[in-house]
Amino acid sequence: MNSLNSEFSVQSVLNVLQSVLPQSTSFLPLHEPSFGGNEWLYVKECLDTGWVSSVGKFVDRFEADLAAYTGVKRAVAVVNGTAALHICFLLAGVKAGDEVLMPSLTFIATANAVSYCGAVPHFVDSEEKTLGVDPHKLAKYLEEITEQRLDGCFNRHSGRRIKAVVPMHTFGHPVDLDPLTETCNRYGIELIEDAAESLGSFYKGRHTGNWGRFAALSFNGNKTITTGGGGTILTNDEDLGRMAKHLTTTAKVPHRWEFNHDMIGYNYRMPNINAALGCAQLEQLPGFLSAKRDLAGRYRQAFAGIPGISFFSEPSGSQSNYWLNTLILDEAHAHSRDTLLQLTNDAGIMTRPAWTLMHRLPMFANCPKMDTSVAESLERRMVNIPSSAMLGSGRTDA
């Protein structure tokens, strides 16, 4: 290692990014979609036939394609990932006053969707190896704070029932689901995966989102595939899958002309025109995943010799979609994070830090939490870098 490489500098990080990324005169975003497939054809078909809205063949096909790809029994397409989480929680029986365990290191949607049920987020720590919920630390914590009652697992301090845990597969990297599932089973806590970021990510060969009764996907514009705005409820319970469809389509009772609704429902259905986009995008998913893996491989190689910072690679036993590539500063250089963000964004390369930890936000500041020292450390040190599929090449596996 030569002397130039022996000390950390934000400039050296920028240099490496510039060596991997294409030279561009315009701002390079964190993640932009590619529409090189049948998007045009399918969307045009919607316009030509007039089927753009709440009913249409692309919704049915998108749901079937997603169920087949992820291996779940039923997929229900909705307006976005937040709506998908909301319905997962409702169907899992999360009630007002319950607590739902989730990482403090997550996007706001996870916590908001719990709030819509009148339930209370309860924040847990993450681990360095996956960037997601630390199942071992969680198990110890639950041993300390819970007691089993006839109607579930209760937080002895708050007196509230702990109904579910929502691991979020951060930037597409799977949480360590085996020990987490074991903990859930032991404590009678429902596992609901927030797989918003992990379409195309597998844990021990099985798709993320296929490990509990419910999971949520997202197809926001910045995701691996996009429907404009969209999300999906994945479930392995066919009855609850039917109920998810019912609940997301205003709970209307089928009839040739009558308008009857049998419960308070939601208008969460994905429009057909958005599903058309989704069908075309899903066809290209294998190519996107290969290209993103190629890009991640190039980043990994390029950052291998750089001191003070490391490229985050998929956890052992998992295959990640590398949705958002991630650099992690050594603790000693955490103070340089904002300088690095400034320098790279000024240079036209979009980078961003992790989300502000949920327990720091004013509306969740009083929610229960365990020690979150690892999440706090990660928050100080993580930086996402450009990750669009179009930046990777070919279908070569990295």
- Which residues are near its own copies by CB under 8 A? 32-35, 39-40, 43-44, 46-48, 50-55, 79-83, 107-109, 112, 115-116, 118, 220-222, 226-229, 250-252, 256-267, 269-274, 277, 341, 345, 351-356, 361-363
Query: Three-state secondary structure along 325-364?
Result: EEEEECHHHHHHHHHHHHHHHHCCECCEECCCCHHHCHHH
The distance of closest approach from Cβ of residue 91 to its own copies in the complex, given in angstroms and rounded to an integer, is: 17
What is the DSSP-derived secondary structure letter of residue 259?
Answer: -
CB closer to its own copies, 361 vs 398: 361
Tokens of 115: 């709030």
State in angstroms the smallest separation of the CB of 158 from its own copies: 19
CA distances from 148 to 142, 161, 227 (A): 11, 9, 42
Question: Min. distance of Cβ 4 from its own copies in angstroms?
Answer: 28
Query: To the nearest whole angstrom, how small is the minimum distance from the Cβ of residue 251 to its own copies?
Result: 8
The smaller minimum CB distance to its own copies, of residues 133 and 225, is found at 225
Closest of 167, 157, 163, 236 to residue 196, by C-alpha? 167
Nearer to its own copies, 177 or 275 (CB): 275
Residue 315: DSSP 8-state = P
83 vs 296 by CB, closer to its own copies: 83
Please state the length of the chain: 398
Closest separation in Å from C-beta 320 to its own copies: 21
Closest CA to 223 of 109, 73, 373, 328: 109
The two structure tokens encoding residue 109: 């949607």
Token pair of 181 as six digits = 């599932």
Give the other-Cβ count within 10 Å of 144's Cβ.
9
- The least distance separating its own copies from the CB of residue 81, rounded to whole angstroms, comes to 7
Q: To the nearest whole angstrom, how small is the minimum distance from the Cβ of residue 206 to its own copies?
A: 28
Question: Which CB atom, from 205 or from 254, has the smaller least distance to its own copies?
Answer: 254
- State which residue, 150 or 259, has the beta carbon closest to its own copies: 259
Degrees to nearest 5, angle at CA 293 with 287 and 297: 145
Q: Which residues pair with residue 231 across a beta bridge?
A: 78, 218
Residue closer to its own copies, measured from CB, 116 or 154:
116
Give, in degrees to the nearest 5, the angle at Cα 162 between 157 and 166.
125
**CB closer to its own copies out of 200 and 230:** 230
Structure tokens at 168: 């979020």
Nearer to its own copies, 142 or 275 (CB): 275
Q: Please state whether 55 falls in left (phi above 0), alpha (psi between -120 and 50) or beta.
A: beta
| DSSP state for residue 226 in the 8-state scheme | -
Nearest in space to 388 (alpha carbons), one of 30, 84, 124, 42:
30
Query: In angstroms, what is the minimal distance from the CB of 263 to its own copies?
Result: 6
Q: How many angstroms separate the CA atoms of 346 and 341, rounded? A: 8
Q: Shortest approach of its own copies to residue 262 CB, angstroms?
A: 6
- Kindly state the tokens that stand for 252: 């209307």
As measured in angstroms, the least distance from the Cβ of 179 to its own copies is 29
Rounded CA separation 375/312 (Å): 15
Please count the other Cβ atoms lying within 10 Å of the Cβ belonging to residue 282: 21
Is the Cβ of residue 229 or residue 241 nearer to its own copies in the bound state?
A: 229
